[in-house]
């Protein structure tokens, strides 16, 4: 009986860690996406320096948690987000609004996808 309780406790701990990771990742990607959306608004108003600053802040949030992200996510997904950040920065520096907006929208969508892949749902279990 002791083994059963130990196994149940272990499963409960693993489940709690999984849910905690999911919630943290959703919060992290949500705050980064919010910064990127704000940067896009600044770019549409021709405030390129503010857009660049907000994008750099979003990238810094991502990089500050790089070890955690590489530990808990697939490396390919993490690399895609990082590559997308570099693409967005490139269009920011050239100040090409249409290309920047499209690239930024792809980055936001990629962040949402990364978060949704880690959500505890039936779809992700199957």
Across residues 96-104, what is the average pLDDT?
A: 94
Report the length, in residues, of the chain: 126
Residue 105 clears pLDDT 90, i.e. is over it? yes
- Arithmetic mean of pLDDT, 1-13: 88
- How much is the average pLDDT of 115-120? 79
Whether 50 contacts 42, CB under 8 Å: yes
The full set of domain ranges for the chain reads 17-125
CB atoms within 10 A of CB 81: 19
Residues 66, 9: Cα–Cα separation, whole Å: 30
Residue 124 in this model has a pLDDT that exceeds 70: no
> Which fold, 17-125?
1.20.120
**How much is the pLDDT for 118?**
76
Task: Please name the residues in contact with 4: beta carbons below 8 A apart, sequence gap of 6 or more.
Answer: none
Answer positive or negative: Cα dihedral of 73, 76, 77, 78: positive
According to the model, what pLDDT value does residue 116 have? 86
pLDDT of res. 4: 87
Tabulate helix, strand, coil % of the chain (nearest 5).
90, 0, 10
* 10-69 tens-digit pLDDT: 999 998 998 898 899 999 999 999 999 999 999 999 999 999 999 999 999 999 999 999
Q: d(Cα 27, Cα 22) in Å, to the nearest integer? A: 9
41 neighbors 101 (Cβ within 8 angstroms): no
**Model pTM score:** 0.85
């Amino acid at each position: 009986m002791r083994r059963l309780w130990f196994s149940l406790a272990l499963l409960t701990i693993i489940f709690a860690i999984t849910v905690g990771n999911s919630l943290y990742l959703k919060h992290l990607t949500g705050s980064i996406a919010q910064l990127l959306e704000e940067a896009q608004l600044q770019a549409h108003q021709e405030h390129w320096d503010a857009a660049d600053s907000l994008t750099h802040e979003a990238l810094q949030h991502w990089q500050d948690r790089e070890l955690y992200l590489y530990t808990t996510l697939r490396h390919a997904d993490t690399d895609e987000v990082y590559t997308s950040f570099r693409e967005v920065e490139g269009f920011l520096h050239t100040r090409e609004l249409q290309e920047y907006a499209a690239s930024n929208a792809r980055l936001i969508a990629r962040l949402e996808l990364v978060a949704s892949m880690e959500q505890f749902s039936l779809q992700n279990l199957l």
